[in-house]
Amino acid sequence: MLLVDDSHEIAEAVSFYCGAKNIDCRAVDNGQEGLERIRKDKFDLILLDIAMPEFTGINMINSVKQDGSIETKNIVVFTASSNRKMLDEIKNSGVKEILRKPCSLDDLTELIEKYRPSK
């Protein structure tokens, strides 16, 4: 799993939780590095904050769309935004889901399990 979020607290909490559940989670704190990781590595799940400075999650989504690879990526937007119009546009852009912050550990676990490959 890749977590792209500029909040160090969120990155630490999610990484700690994933570590406790034996889930490989890599966290990056900016969109440009996140995009590089998406292009370089394969992830079962990409949890993406949209409100980041400089290169936002929306910039990342648009870049992946331009690459023509958004359909092959399990991108889930991880946001506290309540802007319904923006969230609808994001959902229609090819991301798989939107997970609202703050989320429960149960919701996070369910999401991770949904995109985990079958053994």
Amino acid at 74: N
Amino acid at 9: E
> Domain 2-115 in CATH: superfamily?
Response regulator (3.40.50.2300)
- pLDDT tier, 91 (very low <50, low <70, confident <90, very high otherwise): confident
Which pTM was predicted? 0.91
Query: Can you tell me the distance from the alpha carbon of 26 to that of 43, in angstroms, rounded to the nearest whole number?
Result: 10
User: Per-residue pLDDT tens for 17-74?
Assistant: 999 999 999 999 999 999 999 999 999 999 999 988 889 999 999 999 999 888 899 9
